[in-house]
Amino acid sequence: MASEQRCLLIGNSRWHWAEQSRSGVWSYSHSQPQLSLLEGSPPLCSWAAVGPVPAHSVLRPDRRLCLDAIPLRNVPDWLGIDRALAGWGAWTQSAEAGPLMVVDAGTVLSLTRVTADGAFNGGWLAAGLRLQLQAMAAGTQALTDPDDQRQEPCDGLSFPRDSCEAMRRGVIESLVGLILRAQDLDPSPLWLCGGDAPLLVQALQTQGLELNHAPELVMQSLVTLVSPAPDRSALDQPLNRL
């Protein structure tokens, strides 16, 4: 089906797209940075960035969504627009009246606290899965980035014998431990999004943690903001309450 318009969020390592069909339904996808994807139709109705912005005529300054357009309260000027979008989006969708915490498992794993009245209330930042794996490979002589090798799925061992799988398992456990510690300090409802979120869901569930898995939370929020009128169809995507 032909498309009406699309939005783009330029991330640190990937580009994130929202595309609206003529029926008004939004779909979401992700790609490697590639200038050719900016060409042609549908038009780019809005865009935002946390990563490097390429020079291209399609990326018009008047269509850039900036931090001051996000209705999240008390936002510092250094906050990434992806964190602001995720925090505001979780707050607007939350069925519970109270504070919450958003975990965005992307290039950087971010924890963002939002108060009951929709204000930014701090958080944590940590290197995400890929950054940690790359750092281990770059900082040692013997370890290899797991992405450079074809590996079989994890054999289920708590302590893998293969070095690449041991790296993956160690990083995932470190991220899960960080999230669990945050919940110890602030047991607010937890929202999980980002490209690496599926790798963390099962491990968090095993620890008995309840969470809302909203894979496209950031892009849904962006689309809702730039729609001419409140567009609830942008939010009509699976929300897994786990």
Pairing of strands 120-127, 240-241: unpaired
Q: Are 235 and 206 in contact (CB under 8 A)?
A: no
Out of 62, 68, 77, 82, pick the active-site residue: 82
Tokens representing residue 180 in the block: 């669990």
Residue 188: C-alpha distances to residues 48, 106, 112, 127, 154 (Å): 29, 21, 11, 23, 32
Question: What is the CA 217 to chain-centroid distance, rounded?
Answer: 7
Length, in residues, of the chain: 242
Tokens representing residue 83 in the block: 């964190």
Question: Is 104 considered catalytic here?
Answer: no
Which residues are identified as catalytic? 82
